[in-house]
Amino acid sequence: MTEQTRAAPFETRLPQLRGRWVSAYQLLWVTLAIVAAGVMTASIYRGDAEPAVLMLRLIKTAVLIAVCAILLRNRKSDPVAALLSLAFLSWAVTSNFDFSSPALVPMLADRLRFLLFAIALLLFPDGSWRPRWTRSIAVASMLVFVLGIAEGTGIAPSRLFLPAAVACILIAIFSLIVRFRDARSEAVRQQLKWVALGLVAGVALILIARAGASLSRVIPQPYSIPVLWEGVFQLGIIVVALGFLTSLLRYRLFDAETAISRSAALAVLTLAIVATFAGTEASIEWIGQQYFGMGIGNISAAMAAAVAAVILNPLHNRISDWAEHRFQRDLVTLKRDLPELLVELSGRASTRELGTMALPRIRRAMHASRVALIVHGKVAAVDGIDLRSVRSWARSAVTQEPRVPGDVFPTRIELNEPNGEISACLALGPRPDGTVQAKDELAAIAAIAPNLRRAIAAAGHVDRHAAHQAADRRLIAKQIDLLSARLAELERTRSRPLIGGA
């Protein structure tokens, strides 16, 4: 029974868009795309913003329309993709205005974006109301949307829309966390990881831009950089959209851990370097004022930059190790535990026993659909696939035939010894999304390859010793059979009566 079959009695899933609903979606999509392009064109002709800001907004609008067009083309009948596509088009309209713009069009588009985005989060990724209380949050979001329209048009003179909208979005994000913890499918978990990466990185950039724009109004020039904050804001919107696009298209889903690990390492490293530079510069400046009675000026900045450069490499290594242990636990566990297991099995396990113990761990860490160990042209062990179906592939792998699309094992890692004692190959099938393993995963296999070679060599000695023992047992059994036959013949001879005897 599949996960969807199990979940059916307990949840309601939105049906796929068909007929008039698809036409209505396309019509609304085209309308919002025209409005977004029109707003962008009007702002260019008015010239009410700096050229650099206009260029950033133009790039963002083009990216968002491209993302929405991809969703319209590839996920036309998916209701969640439709909600997200329309929300991003609305965002393309509102983000082309300043943060505090009083215009009616961006206000209405902003309220629409909130409603569409909140419901999409509550339904992501498969359109199901899970957990059940998400329906109540959807109703609350609709009421907040109506309140926002009333506030924007002056019907209801209150200021409750913004805090209520933020609360709805936070609860919707919390529902994603609940779905991640309850998900039985690894593909769904990977989809939610990509969304988490896009939301965390994108919202962080947007908040940084908001804070920077606010500081720019009180900090004198040249320290206020409005173009920089505008670029950070637009980049945050793009990151959020790309996170959802990657998740919905299921493109390289299982690279989520790698992307999250590198993003976290880069963010922490940047913060650490900035904090080190600022702290060192302030300390040197304070020492100069206290002990020399004057400001050191550019010398403090140069010395702070030198300190930051010195600690950059060791800090990068430490932060990268932390990020890998935190977000790529499967690879870390493989590199840590498998060599110990291979040492324990060395000298007492056969090649088949070695593969039976090691291949499931490799397959799980590599997110491979199947894995096989080929030793001297023969299939020693498999996991995730039938043994017989691998043997024909093994013959083509030994002869180095060209790989073709849809190959059973598109990734092959040679484990040959230079002296020719071992001729082995570790064959990995594609990941569940059809992609091959990433560089980090192949690097993890390369790290344990020497241990695997030694274990295969030791297992080969065990196999040969077992083969010699089996041959000796067969020889002994054959000799015993011959002796038994001779004894039986002698018994028959002795028991035969003598002809004509007295």
Q: DSSP string of 235-276?
A: HHHHHHHHHHHHHHHTTTGGGHHHHHHHHHHHHHHHHHHHHH
Phi, psi at 119, each rounded to 5°: -70, -35
The pTM (predicted TM-score) of the whole model is: 0.71
- pLDDT tens digit sequence for 316-325: 788 888 877 7
pLDDT for the residue 402: 42
Phi, psi at 454, each rounded to 5°: -65, -40
pLDDT for the residue 1: 38
- pLDDT (average), residues 194-223: 76
The more confidently predicted of residues 334 and 497 is 334
HEC string of 344-379 equals HHCCCCCHHHHHHHHHHHHHHHHCCCCEEEEECCEE
The more confidently predicted of residues 468 and 312 is 468
pLDDT for the residue 151: 85
Query: Does the structure show a pLDDT above 90 at 214?
Result: no
Which residues are 428's β-sheet partners?
371, 411
The answer to whether residues 408 and 390 touch, using CB atoms and an 8 Å cutoff, is: yes
Report whether the peptide linkage leading into residue 418 is cis, meaning its omega lies within 30 degrees of zero. Answer: no
- pLDDT tens digit sequence for 157-208: 778 888 899 899 999 999 999 998 888 888 888 888 889 888 888 888 888 8
Which residues are 414's β-sheet partners?
425
**How many other CB atoms are there within 10 angstroms of residue 321's CB atom?**
12
- pLDDT (average), residues 125-152: 90
- pLDDT tens digit sequence for 369-399: 889 888 887 888 888 887 777 776 666 555 4
- pLDDT tens digit sequence for 417-462: 766 677 888 888 888 877 888 888 888 888 888 888 888 888 888 8
The answer to whether residues 401 and 337 touch, using CB atoms and an 8 Å cutoff, is: no
The more confidently predicted of residues 283 and 97 is 283
* Residue from 351, 355, 359 nearest 467 by CA: 351
Enclosing H/E stretch for 89: helix 79-94
Structural domains present in the chain: 3-251 (1.20.1070), 271-327 (no CATH), 331-460 (3.30.450.40)
- pLDDT (average), residues 359-366: 90
Query: Which residues are CB-neighbours of 394 under 8 A, at least 6 positions away?
Result: 372, 374, 377, 378, 379
Phi, psi at 426, each rounded to 5°: -100, 115
